[in-house]
Chain A
Amino acid sequence: DGGITQSPKYLFRKEGQNVTLSCEQNLNHDAMYWYRQDPGQGLRLIYYSQIVNDFQKGDIAEGYSVSREKKESFPLTVTSAQKNPTAFYLCASSIGMGTPVSGNTIYFGEGSWLTVV
C-alpha cells in the first residue's frame, strides 16, 4: 500500500543525546516535511524539502537537522541543542511545491512520540 511510514513510533532520549526519526514514503512525492506537535497545540513546521539534496528551514528549525539523499526518505535528527524535544513529530509529503492547483495536498504519516528521560 502507498503511504508514509515513520519509525519508531515511540522513542526515549537521554539528555545530551542525538536521535534520528525515520520517514519513508512510496507515493513518489517530491516534497517532504517535518512538523512538531505539542499537547493542545497545532502543528509547527520544522524543515521541508522540495527535491532531493535540497531542504529549507521552517519556523522552528533550531536544534534539528535533516537530510534528503533519496526522494523517498527524509530523516529528522533531534540534536542535543534542542532544549525541549519532548513532542509528537509528524512527517508529511506532497506531490510537489509550486505544482498546479490539483496536486499540493499534504499527506501525513502516523507520527513518532519522542520523550526525553
Chain B
Amino acid sequence: AQKVTQAQTEISVVEKEDVTLDCVYETRDTTYYLFWYKQPPSGELVFLIRRNSFDEQNEISGRYSWNFQKSTSSFNFTITASQVVDSAVYFCALSEGDYGGSQGNLIFGKGTKLSVKP
C-alpha cells in the first residue's frame, strides 16, 4: 500500500541555519509523483514542487532544494539560510499512476512543522 512518512513532527531552527525535512514513501507503482506543499498559518496549501519517478535529478529553486533518491525511497527538502517567513507546516505527498495520479488522490504525510526563530 502507498504511504508517506515524515518522521520529523516539529523542527526549530535559528534564522540563517540550513534545515532538511525528510520524506520517505512507499509505493508498488513504477510510475508515481512526489510533491511538497507548504502550509503557512493562513491555512492554504502552497504547491512547491512536483517530481515524477523517472526523474531523479536534484532540483534547486532559490533557497530551496530537493533530493530524490529512489534507492532509499526518499524525497528530502532542504531550505538553505532559513528565514522567519519559512515558518510553516510542510507536507510531502505521493500520487500514483501514469498520469500523475489516475484518481487524483494525493497521499499525504502528516507534515513537519518548521519554526524559524529570529
Do residues A48 and B103 form an inter-chain contact, with CB atoms below 8 A? yes
B71 → A minimal CB distance (Å): 23
A5 → B minimal CB distance (Å): 11
Report A-chain residues with C-beta under 8 Å of the C-beta of B9: 40
Q: A42-B91, A43-B108 are in contact. Are A98 and B102 (CB under 8 A)?
A: yes
Report B-chain residues with C-beta under 8 Å of the C-beta of A105: 35, 47, 50, 100
The tally of CB-CB contacts under 8 A between chains A and B is 74
**Which partner residue on chain B sits nearest A105 by CB separation?**
B50
**Which partner residue on chain B sits nearest A92 by CB separation?**
B45
Do residues B105 and A104 form an inter-chain contact, with CB atoms below 8 A? no
Q: Mark A97-117, 1 if CB is under 8 A from B, else 0.
A: 111110111111111010000
Alpha-carbon separation in the docked complex, A104 to B99 (Å): 7
Do residues A94 and B104 form an inter-chain contact, with CB atoms below 8 A? yes
Do residues A104 and B44 form an inter-chain contact, with CB atoms below 8 A? no
If over half of B's interface residues share one DSSP class (helix, strand or loop), that class is named, otherwise mixed; here it is: loop
Q: A97-B99, A101-B99, A104-B99 are in contact. Are A33 and B104 (CB under 8 A)?
A: yes
Partner of A42, one of B43, B95, B108: B108
Q: Mark B31-45, 1 if CB is under 8 A from A, else 0.
A: 001010100001111
Q: Is A66 an interface residue (CB 8 A)?
A: no
A23 → B minimal CB distance (Å): 13
Q: Is B52 an interface residue (CB 8 A)?
A: yes
Report B-chain residues with C-beta under 8 Å of the C-beta of A42: 4, 91, 93, 108-111
Binding site for B on A (CB under 8 A): 31, 33, 40-45, 48, 50, 56, 58-59, 88, 90, 92, 94, 97-101, 103-111, 113
Given contact pairs A42-B109, A48-B104, A108-B46, enumerate 10 new A-B contacts (beta carbons under 8 Å): A42-B111, A48-B105, A97-B103, A101-B52, A101-B99, A104-B95, A104-B100, A108-B37, A108-B44, A111-B43
